[in-house]
């Protein structure tokens, strides 16, 4: 690739590809969004990086206030880091330390879901649930109670809630926190569940004093139709992890939001403080990019446009559902998935054949096993989305036929 703009990648040989998967799902606003570029250019001339320790700076402080104002009510505190995995590491360590400092020293177990993906650092892998990626590192991981994932249909949702309820009843006083990808388990193969499930998980956590960590690294920033997925459930998690779309997809940057109650648990004495930091925590360029992205969300009606595209995606998926080899389709917000075969097996190659065929026709549609999915920029023009869906149709016909 030599350049990228909007939903389009340009290759060295001059060809272009529609970025159907938003470059690892980060490109919420399309590549090089003018508001993000402008904010970055201005910040770069002023201050590229400083330690966020003891001193603070305007982009970081103002961004924290903006995020707190936009987040589900009660998430008032912001901890910056630099990617999705670290946003989750921060949440895990904060939850653990918070419970310990309350005197709940037995609360050291995290509940994770089968199919979960929270990043590639060891803590994030510990709460992961995709064996292809995670099983090899078993001896290095901390203990979790892994429960059945919410999967993709009503039966799975109920079974998952029953499994969670069972673990919480048996081991409630050992549980530090439950970690969930609200509404969509991305890496599991875009498996979707209704807001009601998130609401019930919140209730179950409350019933035993476990914290709820919502990993909105993928689903945050408009991807599911609302700015944050938890909004649809009317749920405020205790900790919420943001990255990817936070900068519109321009820079590695992350924020972990916390409630006042969580924050308070770290006050009062020096040895209660949260010893966690990366060199680039609170990086001013990341903050500036996030300001540019939030300006776009606030001033350009990005969510309204995404809603219109979501309806078009729904119609496109209905066509794809009729193709040979397609077992089902599903959609939440501007995430669409086409199931070829029955599970998202990473080893299977039908998804890769679709990928290759789509590349030849001008689209980047990197699959998750045998799930071909669409996570385009929320700002993708209607015509480009139409072309993407046509290319996908041709590629599926070619790969399956």
d(CA 321, CA 336): 11
Distance between CA 371 and CA 374 in Å, rounded? 10
Looking at 218, 253, 355, 374, which residue binds ligand PMP (CB under 6 A)? 218
Q: Output the smallest distance, CB 235 to ligand PMP, in A.
A: 16
181 binds ligand PMP (CB under 6 A): yes
Distance CA 72, CA 327 (A): 36
For residue 312, give every residue at least 6 positions away whose Cβ sits within 8 Å of its Cβ, in sequence order, or none.
382, 385, 386, 389
Binding segment for ligand PMP (CB under 6 A), chosen from 34-42, 99-107, 161-169, 181-189, is 181-189
243 interacts with ligand PMP by CB under 6 A: yes
| Residue range at the interface with ligand PMP (CB under 6 A); choices 51-59, 63-71, 180-188, 200-208 | 180-188
Applying CB under 6 A, which of residues 43, 85, 97, 232 lies at the interface with ligand PMP?
A: 85
> Exposed, middle or buried by CB within 10 Å (0-12, 13-18, 19+), for 370?
buried
Structure-token pair, residue 204: 């179950």
Taking CB under 6 A as the rule, which mask of x and - marks residues 104-133 in contact with ligand PMP?
-------------xxx--------------
Decide: is 88 part of the binding site for ligand PMP (CB under 6 A).
yes
**Number of residues written out for the chain:** 401
Cβ neighbors of 165 (< 8 A, separation 6 or more) are: 204
Residue among 186, 265, 286, 316 that touches ligand PMP (CB under 6 A) = 186
Binding string to ligand PMP for residues 23 to 62, with x set by CB under 6 A, is what?
Answer: ----------------------------------------
| 217 interacts with ligand PMP by CB under 6 A | yes
| Residue 134 burial class via C-beta count within 10 angstroms: exposed 0-12, middle 13-18, buried 19 and up | buried
Distances in whole angstroms, Cα of residue 240 to Cα of each of 76, 90, 179, 259: 11, 10, 10, 9
The CB-of-167 to ligand PMP minimum distance in angstroms stands at: 21
Stretch that binds ligand PMP, among 6-14, 82-90, 107-115, 270-278 (CB under 6 A): 82-90
Which residues would be at the binding site for ligand PMP (CB under 6 A)?
83-85, 88, 117-119, 181, 186-187, 215, 217-218, 243
């Amino acid at each position: 690739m030599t350049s990228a703009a909007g939903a389009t990648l340009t290759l060295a040989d001059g060809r272009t590809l529609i970025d159907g998967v938003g470059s690892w799902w980060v490109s919420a606003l399309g590549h090089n969004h003018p508001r993000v570029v402008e904010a970055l250019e201005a910040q770069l001339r002023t201050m590229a990086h400083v330690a966020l320790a003891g001193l603070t700076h305007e982009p970081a402080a103002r961004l924290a206030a903006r995020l707190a104002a936009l987040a589900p009510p009660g998430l008032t505190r912001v901890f910056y880091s630099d990617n999705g995995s670290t946003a989750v590491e921060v949440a895990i360590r904060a939850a653990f330390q918070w419970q310990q400092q309350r005197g709940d020293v037995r609360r050291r177990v995290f509940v994770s879901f089968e199919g979960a993906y929270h990043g590639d650092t060891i803590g994030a892998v510990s709460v992961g649930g995709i064996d292809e990626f995670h099983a090899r590192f078993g001896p290095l991981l901390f203990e979790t109670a892994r429960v059945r994932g919410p999967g993709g249909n009503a039966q799975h949702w109920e079974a998952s809630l029953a499994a969670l309820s069972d673990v919480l009843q048996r081991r409630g006083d050992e549980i530090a926190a439950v970690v969930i990808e609200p509404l969509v388990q991305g890496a599991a193969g875009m498996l979707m569940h209704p807001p009601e499930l998130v609401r019930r998980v919140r209730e179950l956590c409350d019933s035993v004093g476990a914290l709820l960590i919502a990993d909105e690294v993928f689903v945050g920033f408009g991807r599911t139709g609302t700015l944050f997925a938890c909004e649809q459930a009317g749920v405020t998690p205790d900790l919420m992890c943001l990255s990817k779309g936070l900068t519109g997809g321009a820079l590695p940057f992350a924020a972990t939001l916390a409630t006042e109650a969580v924050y308070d648990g770290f006050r009062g004495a020096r040895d209660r403080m949260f010893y966690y930091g990366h060199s680039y925590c609170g990086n001013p360029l990341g903050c500036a990019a996030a300001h540019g992205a939030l300006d776009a969300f606030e001033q350009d009606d990005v969510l309204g446009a995404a809603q219109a595209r979501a309806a078009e995606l729904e119609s496109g998926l209905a066509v794809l559902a009729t193709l040979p080899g397609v077992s089902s389709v599903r959609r939440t917000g501007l995430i669409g998935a086409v199931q070829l075969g029955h599970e998202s097996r990473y080893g299977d190659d039908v998804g890769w054949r679709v990928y290759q065929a789509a590349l030849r026709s001008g689209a980047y549609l990197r699959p998750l096993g045998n799930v071909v999915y669409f996570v385009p920029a929320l700002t993708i023009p209607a015509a480009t989305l139409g072309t993407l869906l046509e290319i996908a149709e041709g590629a599926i016909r070619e790969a399956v036929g």
